[in-house]
Every structure is written in C-alpha cells, then in structure tokens.
Homo-oligomer: A and B are copies of this chain.
Amino acid sequence: MNFISNKYFVNLNREETVKYLLIEKHIKKLIDTNKIEDGEKLPSIREMAEFLNVNKITVVNAYKRLQAEGYAAQKIGSGTYAKKRDINKNFSREYSKVLKKISSDEVKNYIDFTGETPSGEFFQISFFKSVLNEVLDRDGSSALICQESLGYDGLRNSISDVFWNGNIDKDDILIVSGAQQGIDVVSKAILNTNDTVIVEKPTYSGALSVFKWRRTEIIETPIKKDGINIDNLEKILKKNKVKCFYTMSYFQNPTGISYSNEKKRQILRLADIYDFYIIEDDYLSELIYDDSIKYSSFKSLDSSDRVVYIKSFSKIFLPGIRIGYLIPPKKFKESIQNSKINTDISTSSLMQRALDLYIRKGLWRSYINDLNVVYKRRYVYMKKCIDKYLKNQVEFVEPGGGLHFYLKINQNIVIDSIELFRKSKNRRVLITPGTLFYKVPSEGKKYFKIGFSHVDEKNIESGIQILSELIIM
C-alpha cells in the first residue's frame, strides 16, 4: 500500500474528543441562530453532563473550546455565559456612536485625539481637482466604465516605478479598496476556519475583527520596543501549525513601535522554517520623524516569497479615496486575485486614474513632504506636552514617526481608559481606549491612544492638560 502516503492518516480513536466537538458545534449553532441569547447563562457542567449523559470532562472541554473561540465567557464562581461573535461589542459600540456623533456637523469644537488619518487641512484640493479633470478629458467615459480586475494598468505601473524602483512586476500588484479590504481579501483567500493566525498584542482592531469573522484561532504575542519577542514567537510556532502572522512593521497601531531590521530578518527566517506567511500592513511608513529610523519593509527583505504586502493609500493620503494595493506571494497570487473579484469585482476606476496621475506629476511626493513637516512639529509638541503634564501619570515609548502616542496609565493610578474616555468626552476631549486593541478587551484598560492629526498645537496642549486633570482625580 505504498502509494497511500502518511498524509491520509487521521486519528479516529477519540470518541470523547469527538463528543465535545459535537456539543461545542451544537451550542455554537444555537448562539449563532440566537436560540441562545448573548449573555445567557449556560447550564452548569454537572447539569449539562447529566442531561447529555456524558462525562463532566467532556462538557468542560466543550465549554473551554467555546471560550477559546469567543462563544462563551466564564465568570469565576458564577458559571459560563454565551457570547455573540463581536468582541468588545458594548464598549466598541459606545465608542463608535460617540465618534459618529462628533463627526456630524452639529457638534464641533471637540479636541479630537482619536484621528487615525491625516485631516485634509493641508491637502490642496485644487491640485486634485485639476488632475481629476485631466483624467476625464483624457479618458472620457472609459474612466467610469472600465472594470480592471487587477486594477488600472497605469496606476500599477506607477506604483512599481515610484515605490519599488521598477523591481515589482505590475502584474504582481493588485489594487484594492483600502487596506481593510486588503486584509479581508487576503484572509478570504488564505485562511480557513480554525487556521491559526498570530497577531501582535495589542493590534489593529479592524484586522482582529476580520480574523475573528473568519473564525480563525488567534494567538496574540506581546509587542516589545523593537517588535514582538522572537523566542516567544518560536515557542508558539513549535506548538501550533501557524498559517500567518499579521504585523504592522512601522509605527504599529496602537503601540507606535517599529521593527528593527534584525528582527524582521529573524521573523522571515522563522517563516521559512515553520512554513507560515507574513501579512505586512504598511500603513504609515511615510511619516518618519526620527532620522535614525530607516525604511525597509518585510517585503523588501523577503527572499523566500513569504510576505503578503498590503499598502494603504487611504491612511496617509485621503481616507475617502479608498485605494490601496497588495503584493501577494506567487503561491497565493491567483487565489487572492479571485478573492478580490469575488469581493467587489474591482476598485473605482476614476479614483485609480486620478491617483495615478497625481503620483506621476510628483504631487503625491510633495504632499507627503508637507505632511512630514507639519506632523513632525505636532509630534514634537505633543511629546513635550506629555512630558510636561503627564510625566508622573503615564509611561510610553517614543514612536519616532506616525500620527499618535500610546500611553500606559501608571499602575498606582485608579482610573482606567474607558472611564477616562467617558470623563474626557464630557470635557470635550476624545481619546481611544486601549481595550479596542486586545482580544480580551480588559487587558487594554490601562492604555489609551492619542493622535495629533486632527489637533493643532494649541489644542494639543489644552487637551493634554485636561487629561492630566482627569487622570489625577
């Protein structure tokens, strides 16, 4: 029977294993179909074991798995409670609601430290307008009719020329509608239910949410001053078959950390050894204020085709334009392209053509240069204010670039960041609590993020003064 290789081996001797999986699957279905409500108490382990006529340990295992997959939460001394898919639902709903209200026109004069993107105040709309008109005059209705599944040819060419010195084939570039879609499209193509994904802890909530939505197993690994800990990563890799590692290589969201090149190389080496892929979300690397930080992406160091590179133009440029691109490894190229077609066929053609011309005319470069000057000034100023007003209240790592600081409230101070959010909101100052960036939200309750892209220097100072008053109390 030599032609039946070992790969067909399945362990069939695990009736108990299988029972708990059946129980787990059944309860998941009940939760998904709202037959068990969010927050409903599940029968106790003893009750459930008696009812189903199984060992208690079988129920324990089923409940454990439900917890691990985010379908249940245990309250010590009280029991196990059903949980719907959305992590962190209640607070994140409150947070979105507040931000939505603020962004509406009625409510202005808030000091808004929640901004994750440039504010547009330095954007020369007239340049963009003339570019748009030039495209319409040049391409006529094609600019509105064409559906290019890989994206507009010209834009892929200029990305290759301007950002990769022609070293990337334009047909290896896939245009997507922003980085969020990039993450979604990649996940759909390469991740199946229960595949294991490693993420930094803390990490971008939008990515966490995609991975949760795909029902993958998410393993968080803490991020240190120059990236995640390699020993810790290797420990995880030894124990688990990992499909991919999601990372933001520069000014990580929320910590502001950037990876050293040494660390990037080590991770790439491990990717090769343990056969996993790196999803690199390169979202803000244009904004470097500390000259000692040099830019080189995982992708640029990758010699084994292990990186799925995702670049957002929205984040740094114009959020409303919804354009980004990705460069997949050869292995996943076709499935990722199909995943994009499956998702929305193609990205708005006119916007792509306008961005292309905007880049080719050098307007992109000069806009980014302007932003660097303005935001570096704000960055330095915010750091000065934190040092001045929050010195004894918070700790932080200097990011050296990007658009925000991530602060840790000192242990001896009672207030947590959700409370701080609520109180500062009442004082018309908005912050982002750390709870949004963790699989288990409570782990972020001593952290908060403040960004300076929507706040001028005067307001940076007033806002931080107010935060200082609130943290003391």
Contact = CB atoms under 8 A, between A and B. Distances in A.
Interface of A: 1, 3-4, 7-12, 15, 18-19, 22-23, 26-27, 29-30, 32, 35-36, 43, 47-48, 50-54, 86, 96, 100, 103, 117, 119-121, 123, 125, 128-129, 132-133, 136, 140-147, 149, 176-178, 180-181, 184, 188, 192-193, 206, 209-210, 213, 318-322, 338-339, 341-351
B132 A120 contact: no
Contacts of A35: 7
A337 to B, nearest CB: 10
Contacts of A136: 125, 128-129, 132
A144 B318 contact: yes
Copies of this chain per assembly: 2
In the complex, which of the residues A1, A8, A52, A96 has the most CB atoms of chain B within 10 Å of its own CB atom? A8
Contacts of A10: 22-23, 26, 52
B180 A345 contact: yes
A181 B344 contact: yes
Given A7-B36, A26-B10, A342 B147 contact: no
Given A177-B344, A184-B343, A343-B184, A320 B146 contact: yes
Contact of A141 (B18, B54, B318, B346): B318
8 contacts: A11-B22, A12-B52, A12-B53, A12-B54, A123-B144, A128-B144, A184-B342, A320-B346
B132 A48 contact: no
Contacts of A133: 129, 133
A54 B10 CA distance: 11
A319 B146 CA distance: 7
Nearest to A210: B342
Contacts of A12: 19, 22-23, 52-54
B320 A178 contact: no
In the complex, which of the residues A177, A339, A348, A351 has the most CB atoms of chain B within 10 Å of its own CB atom? A348
Nearest to A28: B192
A318 to B, nearest CB: 4
A332 to B, nearest CB: 11
In the complex, which of the residues A86, A342, A351 has the most CB atoms of chain B within 10 Å of its own CB atom? A342
A338 B36 CA distance: 21
B51 A1 contact: yes
Nearest to A180: B345
A184 B184 CA distance: 11
A4 B43 contact: yes
A125 B147 contact: no
Nearest to A24: B10
B320 A47 contact: no
Nearest to A209: B342
Contacts of A30: 7-8
Contact of A4 (B48, B53, B176): B48
A322 B129 CA distance: 20
A1 B32 contact: no
A388 to B, nearest CB: 31
Contacts of A43: 3-4, 8
Contacts of A141: 120-121, 123, 125, 318
Given A4-B48, A141-B123, A145-B318, A344 B129 contact: no
Contacts of A181: 343-345
Contacts of A345: 178, 180-181, 206, 322
Contacts of A177: 177, 322, 344, 347-348
B318 A184 contact: no
A345 B320 CA distance: 10
Contacts of A51: 1, 4, 8
Contact of A213 (B9, B32, B132, B342): B342
B1 A50 contact: yes
Contacts of A347: 177, 322
Contacts of A346: 320, 322
A320 B348 contact: yes
B343 A343 contact: yes
A219 to B, nearest CB: 19
A322 B348 contact: yes
Nearest to A103: B146
